[in-house]
Amino acid sequence: MSAGQAERSGFSLSWLWRPGRRHAAPIMLLLLLGFAAPLIAIVGFSFGRERTFALWQTPTFESYRTIVEETFYYSFLWSLGMAVATVVILVLICYPVAYGLAKIFGRWSNLITLLMVLPLFVSENVRLYGWVLFLIKGGVLLGTLKSLFGIDAESVLFTPGIIVFGMVYVYLPFMLFPMTLGLSMVSREVKEAASDLGASRLQVFREVELPLAMPGMIIGCLLTFVLSVGAIAEAKVLGGQSVIPIVHDIEIAFTYAQNWPLGAALSVLLIVLVGALVLLVLRRFDLDRILGRR
């Protein structure tokens, strides 16, 4: 492709295509130093001896053995389970909104999108803490119930359910926007054509709308799944440590336990898990098509 273009644009225009690589260089350098290198470092650490803080030493599998022998799989399972629950709930609650943004709201879409984006820029701690104040005993919800109706209910805080609630809350935009992008790729005419050919509303949805919106929805699911697996704040702030997600284990290993190799090994497992999933799904997508065609 690039060679063909070069020939077409002739020698004098050759700089127009060559800069591809050159323009990619700064960001690639940044990611090499700030993303690839730390990941390699973490892999290096994971083979270190327990409670050591140096990178260069004879590799051992001690930390991995510890992980297998102890009950860390419990945290992994909790994290994965809560992530799956979060994704499923998000698909259900985001679909109508995404549909509205793509097809119904018209010129209001921009404003509504803006309203949905805004909370993203407030640190998730602040927002989750808002929920604590809302849900806590003597907070907005229970305080109102008590003073107005005399109902003395128990707080839903510090349960696994509320952690999923928090993750649904925090990651909602990450499902909503890719989904909207996907749905806006389904043209009205294609759906009309299906209906014109005799398809019922349900059939139009199943045969045309859903398959065409799929790329956006899969991106949304992937994004929210990965973010949920890596979530920690929800469990800490709302869950009150009723559940220890995997990232919390990692943090404990790095901080209180001062066992960096163990934390690194847990991180490596998490990264391998998430990375494999991301690469598997992303490989099947043509990003130009999803992002470029609006």
Partner 1 sequence: MAIQGERVRSNLVVVWTAAIILFLYTPLLTGLLATLTSSRYFNFPIQKWGFDWWGKTLKSLEIHALFETSLLIALIVTAISVLIAFFGALAFARYEWRGRSIYQKIVLLPIFFPQSVLGLALLLWFNALGMETSWHTAVFAHLVWVVPVATLVISIQVYSFDPALEEAAFDLGASRWQVLKEVTLPVLWPGIFSGALFSFLLSWGNFPLSLFTTGADTTVPEYIYAKMGVGYTPAVPVLGTISTIGAAVALLGGYALILIMRGRRTAARGTA
Partner 2 sequence: MQQYNQTGPVLMSASVRSPILELKGLTKQFGSFNAVAGIDLVIGEGEFFTIVGPSGSGKTTLLRMLAGMEVPSSGDILLKGERINDLPANKRPTCMVFQSLALFPHRTVGQNIEFSLKIRGEPEGRRRERCFHLMRQLRLPESYYDKAIAQCSGGERQRVALARALAYDPQILFFDEPLSAIDYKLRKALEKELKDIHRETGKTFMYITHSLEEAMVMSDRIGVMRDGRLVQVGTPNEIYTEPSDKFVSEFMGEVNVIDVRRGDAGRVVSDSLGETFTSPPLPPGFETGHLVVRPEFMRFLASGDSAENRLTGRLYNEYALGSRIQYQVRVGENVFILELLRQRAFRANLDDEVTIGWDSPNSILVRN
Q: Which of residues 151-170 bind partner 1 (CB under 8 A)?
A: 169
Give the single-character DSSP code of 154. Answer: P
Tell me, by CB under 8 A, how many residues bind partner 1: 100
Q: Which of residues 158-187 bind partner 2 (CB under 8 A)?
A: 187
- What is the per-residue binding string for partner 1 in 96-115, x denoting contact by CB under 8 A? xx-xx---xx------x-xx
What dihedral do alpha carbons 116, 119, 120, 122 form, nearest 10°? 170
Closest distance between partner 1 and the C-beta of residue 216, in Å? 14
What distance in Å separates the CA atoms of residue 210 and residue 217, rounded to the nearest whole number?
9
d(CA 34, CA 57): 23
Which region among 62-70, 141-149, 156-164, 202-210 touches partner 1 (by CB under 8 A)? 141-149
Would you call 225 helix, strand, or coil by DSSP? helix
CB 205 within 8 A of CB 188: no
Q: How far apart are CA 238 and CA 129, in angstroms?
A: 8
Judged by CB under 8 A, which stretch of 57-65, 67-75, 89-97, 150-158 contacts partner 1?
89-97
199 counts as binding partner 2 under rule CB under 8 A? yes
List the one residue from 87, 167, 237, 265 that touches partner 1 (CB under 8 A): 237
When asked if residue 197 is in the footprint of partner 2 (CB under 8 A), the reply is yes
| Among 53, 71, 149, 154, interactor with partner 1 by CB under 8 A | 53
| Per CB under 8 A, 69 contacts partner 2 | no
- Six token digits for residue 45: 């650490």
Q: Any idea what DSSP says for residue 41?
A: H
The least distance separating partner 2 from the CB of residue 103, rounded to whole angstroms, comes to 15
Q: Is the dihedral of CA 132, 134, 135, 139 positive or negative?
A: positive
Select from 216, 227, 212 the least CA-distant residue to 177: 216
We find the least distance from the C-beta atom of residue 182 to partner 2, in angstroms, to be: 12
The one segment of 120-128, 199-207, 266-274, 277-285 that binds partner 2 by CB under 8 A: 199-207
In sequence order, what E strands does the chain have? none
What distance in Å separates the CA atoms of residue 231 and residue 166, rounded to the nearest whole number? 10
Among 217, 260, 262, 265, binds partner 1 (CB under 8 A): 260
By the rule CB under 8 A, 288 interacts with partner 2: no
Q: Does the footprint of partner 1 cover residue 252 (CB under 8 A)?
A: no
Binding region for partner 2 (CB under 8 A) out of 77-85, 163-171, 192-200, 241-249: 192-200
Compute how many other C-beta atoms are within 10 angstroms of the C-beta atom of residue 3: 8
Q: Which residues of the shown chain bind partner 2 in the complex (CB under 8 A)?
A: 187, 189-190, 192-200, 203, 207-208, 211-212
